[in-house]
Amino acid sequence: MTIGVTLLQEGNKTQLAGWFAGSPPSVSFEFFPPKTEAAEQSLWAAITQLAPFSPGFVSVTYGAGGSTRERTHATVQRLLRETPLTPAAHLTCVDASREEVDSVARLYWDAGVRHIVALRGDPVGGGAYMPHPQGYTYASDLVAGLKRIGDFEISVAVFPEKHPESPSFEQDMDVLKAKIDAGATRAISQYFFDIEHFLRLRDRAQAAGITIPIVPGILPIANFAQAEKFSRMCGASVPPWMQALFAGLDAQPQARDLVAAQLAATQCRLLRSEGIEHFHFYTMNRAPLTAAVCHMLGLRSNC
């Protein structure tokens, strides 16, 4: 059943009662490091608003080619210093030597960071990926290198609709298994809008003998036009019913936010009915939408 159909059927009292029964799911949040002082204030306002939901961890992204290295490190350090949250620092191997990557990993370890989101990464400015001549070739190599430095908990990426550069879903599973063999303990998915994509990913992983948790990545839509543009770049499909649902709403932000929160909550509820109990939210450093979704899922602030 698609979310578009389910949104029209939410008046079903039995279905609603089932969705709100039982304990709430666990969550984690992703933030990106700020580029300006105003953006930093916005980021910390978002962290302050979402922290009371007691996320399992919060991740901080790492820009293309390591372009936000210092800002990422500073954000992670501040999270450790000023909050009770558990930070997971993103780390990529693109456009960097092993020595450079290992140096960053050691800094994280020495600072008390024990969770890394290990990614291959994308080149600055886009284009085809080329391994650094003295660097880690792929994410699986990066995972192995991190495990030599410290006993990190390591999360990796997985793609419900196939990695844009992968020739097949089978190749995607082989890549994921290589990362697990190297030491990865969790996979976090690229965001998706049709839950069937994630459920098929889960089925493929189970058929391949993969047993680590595969966590769905959820993107509450703060701007539909931007979401469409980014989706084209990263290979995430946007169903036609979503285009109709959000038509004209970017000019009506309050109505758009109501629709976006309800859509993301419905996505999570349907996934929960399939046994999923952890969700990773791509917050875009905007707390209200994610907070609204968490509330609809039964989570409450611990303040």
CATH of the domain at 239: 3.20.20.220
Tally of structural domains, the chain: 1
Q: Is 30 a catalytic residue?
A: yes
- Structural domain includes residue 267: yes
- Structural domain includes residue 263: yes
Mean pLDDT within 151-169: 95
Mean pLDDT within 240-263: 95
Task: Point out the least confidently predicted range of 9-13, 70-74, 181-185, 187-191.
Answer: 9-13
Q: For 100-150, what is each residue's pLDDT tens digit?
A: 999 999 999 999 999 999 999 877 766 778 888 999 999 999 999 999 999
Looking at residue 266, its pLDDT comes to: 97
- Structural domain includes residue 301: no
Mean pLDDT within 80-108: 94
Q: Is the pLDDT of residue 19 over 80?
A: no
- Structural domain includes residue 302: no
Q: Which one has a higher pLDDT value, 192 or 22?
A: 192
Looking at residue 2, its pLDDT comes to: 53
Q: Is the pLDDT of residue 11 over 50?
A: no
Pairing of strands 115-119, 87-92: parallel
- Structural domain includes residue 303: no
The beta strand positions in 159-244, using DSSP E, are: 186-191, 214-218
Distance of CA 197 to the CA centre of its chain: 16
**Could you list the residue range(s) of the whole structural domain that residue 114 is in?**
3-296
Q: For 36-51, what is each residue's pLDDT tens digit?
A: 999 999 999 999 999 9
Of residues 10, 30, 40, 274, which has the active-site annotation?
A: 30
- CA dihedral 240→245→246→248, nearest 10 degrees, is 110
Q: pLDDT band at 78, cuts 50/70/90?
A: very high
Mean pLDDT within 264-270: 97
Task: Point out the least confidently predicted range of 8-17, 178-187, 280-289.
Answer: 8-17
- Structural domain includes residue 87: yes
Q: Is the pLDDT of residue 243 over 50?
A: yes
Looking at residue 1, its pLDDT comes to: 45
- CA distances to 146, 160, 169, 198 from 183, in Å: 9, 21, 21, 23
Query: Cα–Cα distance between 221 and 228 in angstroms, integer?
Result: 10
Q: What is the mean pLDDT of the chain?
A: 90
Rounded to two decimals, the pTM is 0.91
- Structural domain includes residue 68: yes
Mean pLDDT within 211-237: 95
CB-CB contact of 185 with 143 (8 Å): no
Q: Is the pLDDT of residue 65 over 60?
A: no
